[in-house]
């Protein structure tokens, strides 16, 4: 059942309104700035061979990814409470662009995650469906208002899905923690560090913050595998994933990152498209 749900999400990226598919929304139920992180959601949730990973992206948002055939599907999401029901507002990210929203009511225990995607059949039954497709997808706030003034049986929202807990978040390895100054960037033979003078990378928990003077910070989640040689690092942003390797030599960090293929060495002349970055650890008193 869960694999079927993932395939529906993939199809939904292409076609928003299909009978029996999750309803598409042009906006979430509410303001993500007011959302509170539900840490019980964090971790890996599994049915058969398919695993959904929910990770904290910032103080009120999650990043959701899938393994297997749907690994190219990325969702950003946040939680919202409406009465006694909890909802996940999930936005599809495809080709680096944010897409429509899907909304799921959920309940979580230490062992299981139960959820129901709000389906278009529920919207039609309650006259919440946008009939005029030219007006765009359905309205999250309109559904929110309905939920506030009506007692809703969760079974009416959509089909129940249940996932087993397959692992909770682990503490990030500490060897990268701290602030690193970018001193060298090379991509396809071109030196780029002069384009981002003073750039810093800050590893904080499982989050990487890229800080450039007078520019907005970029953020990503990172995951390390110290058992590999070279050690590997995976970066996840809201709209893409990068695969890399790294090594530390004293206070110097060297990273080689690829978009679709993980580099196998740190050679400055590479046959694959990748970016090579060298950084110097900054002392705490600076």
Q: Before 230, cis peptide (omega within 30)?
A: yes
CA angle 174, 204, 276 (to 5 degrees): 80
Distance between CA atoms of residues 152 and 145, nearest Å: 12
Tokens of 242: 């990068």
> 119 pLDDT exceeds 90?
no
From residue 275, alpha-carbon distances to 123, 145, 204 in Å are 47, 48, 22
The mean pLDDT of 104-127, rounded to a whole number, is 91
Q: What is the DSSP letter of 22?
A: B
pLDDT digits over 24-43, tens only? Answer: 788 899 999 889 999 999 99
Q: Name the one residue in this structure whose structure tokens are 């003077």.
A: 213
The mean pLDDT of 138-158, rounded to a whole number, is 91
Q: Which architecture does CATH list for 178-281?
A: Beta Barrel (2.40)
Q: Give the distance, in angstroms, between the CA of residue 266 and the centroid of all CA atoms in the same chain.
A: 28
pTM: 0.66
More confident residue, 14 or 225: 225
Strand 62-66 relative to strand 43-47, pairing: unpaired
Strongest mean pLDDT among 48-57, 71-80, 131-140: 48-57
Q: Give the distance, in angstroms, between the CA of residue 270 and the centroid of all CA atoms in the same chain.
A: 29
> 272 pLDDT exceeds 80?
no
* Domain boundary assignment for the chain: 2-167, 178-281
Judged by DSSP in three states, 71 sits in coil
| Residues in CB range of 127: below 8 A, 6 or more apart | none
- The predicted structure's pLDDT at residue 233: 94
Distance between CA atoms of residues 106 and 62, nearest Å: 15
Judged by DSSP in three states, 1 sits in coil
> 74 pLDDT exceeds 80?
no
Distance between CA atoms of residues 236 and 71, nearest Å: 12
């Amino acid at each position: 059942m869960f694999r079927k749900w993932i395939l529906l999400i993939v199809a939904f990226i292409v076609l928003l309104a299909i009978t029996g598919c999750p309803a598409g929304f042009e906006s979430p139920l509410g303001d993500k700035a007011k959302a509170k992180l539900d840490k019980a959601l964090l971790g890996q949730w599994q049915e058969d061979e398919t695993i959904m990973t929910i990770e904290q992206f910032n103080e009120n948002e999650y990043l959701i990814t899938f393994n297997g055939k749907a690994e190219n599907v990325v969702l950003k999401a946040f939680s919202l409470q409406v009465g006694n029901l909890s909802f996940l507002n999930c936005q599809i990210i495809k080709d680096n662009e944010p897409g429509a929203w899907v909304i799921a009511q959920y309940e979580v225990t230490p062992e299981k995650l139960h959820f129901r995607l709000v389906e278009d059949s529920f919207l039609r039954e309650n006259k919440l469906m946008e009939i005029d497709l030219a007006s765009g997808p359905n309205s999250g706030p309109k559904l929110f208002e309905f939920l506030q003034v009506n007692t809703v049986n969760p079974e009416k929202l959509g089909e129940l899905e249940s996932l087993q807990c397959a692992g909770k978040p682990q503490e990030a390895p500490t060897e990268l923690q701290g602030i690193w100054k970018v001193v060298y960037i090379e991509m396809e033979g071109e030196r780029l560090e002069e384009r981002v003078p003073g750039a810093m990378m800050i590893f904080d928990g499982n989050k990487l913050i890229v800080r450039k003077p007078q520019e907005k910070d970029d953020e990503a989640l990172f995951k390390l595998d110290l058992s590999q040689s070279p050690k590997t690092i995976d970066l996840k942003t809201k709209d893409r994933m990068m695969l890399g390797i790294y090594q530390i030599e004293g206070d110097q960090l060297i990273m080689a990152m690829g978009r679709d293929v993980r580099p196998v060495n740190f050679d400055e002349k590479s046959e694959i498209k990748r970016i090579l970055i060298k950084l110097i650890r900054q002392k705490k008193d600076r």
